[in-house]
Amino acid sequence: MNYLSKRLSCLSIILVCGLSLNANDWKISGDIRAGYVDYDFNNAPPATATVNKGATDSHGFYTTLKTSVLTPKYNNFSLKATLGGATDFGVNNPDYENKNYVFDSKDKKSFALLQELFLSYSDKSHNFTIGRQELDTPLIESDDYYMLANSYEVVNYVNSSLNNLQFHLGYFHKMAGVWDSGANGEKFHSMSDASFVDARDKENAKDSGIVYGAVEYKNKVHEFKLWEYYVTDLYNILLAEYGYSNKINMFSYDLGVQVTNYKELGKLASNNYTNIDYTIYSAKFDGMFENGVNFATGITKYSDGEGQGATLGAFGGFPSYTTGFTYSYFTMGSLQNASVYKTQIGFDLEKMGLKNTWIGYRNTYFNLDPSYSKTAGLLEQDYMQLHGFRISHSTEVGMYLTVTYEVRDLDNESDASAFLFIGGYKF
């Protein structure tokens, strides 16, 4: 662990041990998390480039720590700071960490950073924040379900003065997040650097950010979202979503449709380094019975346009209804003109006396277009199928645990699997 990591870790421990949780209206919170991740690509180091596109077997044990301090409100203003970091205590083999996405892929060393530092103003109708923060929108996600959350440098304003309506306006400048950033996720980089476009397009965009705006409507049964993201000199994203939720006797259900369009613009559109012009159509039908049985189904269709690999995951949000448990996109040839189908069955075990416990199985089938999706050896790929199993449990005192196992069957490629064992304590 480097010097900065040690200093920040010690400071976090002092804050946790030396301050009570609500002394004088100051609030201390945090998350101590430990996890073991294992990705088996049938490709032990050194990598064979033609097997799973060179993805190597990767595994490791990690611990992350986040400690936050929230000041009391003064005239509706407050300030929050969060220190975060990740370490493996030197126990992992760096040769087997290429696909773990906890450390930077080159350094593979423990790190710490100022995860959050933002000023907030909040009343009944207005919420304004500025600074580093973990924030969620349909395409910007904190990803705190993995090891260490994404964080963004952002100016964000939400107006809720009208009944059932919310208006969003903001600007994202930089992000940090190893799992989702196309740059070194241990540090804050501009949103253009964090994207997955060609390096020449990143250079042309000159550290640009994302201007966004949205309107959302929600009542007891209907929900509508319209989000617009403008990534200067890279591409534009327009997301529209409608949801309908209701209940019939002991059965509650959720229907949804979604359209997301990605279109290149500015300097990226004026050259051929990266081509982005495609649309994603999704629909879902989810339901739950009062006995704890629940299910989720979804279908997604990608248009024939280009650019899926240059945008998916670039900013951390996966709004499509058909994602797999571990988002195993990184060894597939292409999603161009693909169709994806998801079926899931789950059980809430509270009726059996196990509160806050869920187990489930998910099958995600990708009907690929072999004219676009190919292996590193240019063999055509007709399909990819994911079989996933998950169990999650939490307690009222802040303990939690999620265990995920997913097997991937990809046409003309060696089988692969992912295992994640992640637990911790939130205080």
Q: Are residues 99 and 134 in the same domain?
A: no
Q: What's residue 329's pLDDT?
A: 62
pLDDT at 1 over 60: no
How large a percentage of the chain has pLDDT more than 90? 81
Instruction: Give the domain-ending residue among 113, 134, 165.
Output: 113
Alpha helices in 105-251 (DSSP H): 191-194, 199-205
Q: Is residue 18 part of a domain?
A: yes
Q: Are residues 146 and 195 in the same domain?
A: yes
Instruction: Give the domain-ending residue among 281, 303, 324.
Output: 281
Q: What pairing do the DSSP bridges indicate for beta strands 126-133 and 27-40?
A: unpaired
Q: Is residue 102 part of a domain?
A: yes
pLDDT at 333 over 90: no
Q: Is residue 332 a contact partner of residue 297, using CB atoms and an 8 Å limit? A: no
> Of 19-33, 84-98, 113-127, 183-197, where does mean pLDDT reach its minimum?
19-33
User: pTM for this structure?
Assistant: 0.89
Taking phi first (over 0 means left), then psi (-120 to 50 degrees means alpha), and beta for anything else, what does residue 234 get?
alpha
Q: When comparing pLDDT for 11 and 133, which is higher?
A: 133
Q: Are residues 149 and 104 in the same domain?
A: no
Mean pLDDT of 228-246: 96
- Cα distance between residue 321 and residue 91, in whole Å: 37
pLDDT at 13 over 60: no
- Cα distance between residue 189 and residue 199, in whole Å: 14
Range of the domain at 11: 1-113
Q: Are residues 254 and 142 in the same domain?
A: yes
Q: Are residues 164 and 142 in the same domain?
A: yes
Q: What's residue 328's pLDDT?
A: 63
Question: At 233, which CATH number?
Answer: 2.40.160.10
Q: Is residue 50 part of a domain?
A: yes
Buried b (16+ CB within 10 A) or exposed e, 340-375: bebebebbbbeeeeeeebbbbebebbbebbbebbbb
Q: Are residues 50 and 140 in the same domain?
A: no
Token pair for 14: 């002092």
Instruction: Give the domain-ending residue among 265, 281, 297.
Output: 281
Per-residue pLDDT of 389-425, as tens digits, reads: 999 999 999 999 999 999 999 999 999 999 999 999 9
Q: Are residues 135 and 255 in the same domain?
A: yes
Q: Is residue 247 part of a domain?
A: yes
With CA atoms as reference, report the closest residue to 320 among 276, 281, 286, 360.
281
How many domains in the chain? 2
Taking phi first (over 0 means left), then psi (-120 to 50 degrees means alpha), and beta for anything else, what does residue 48 get?
beta
Q: Are residues 77 and 191 in the same domain?
A: no
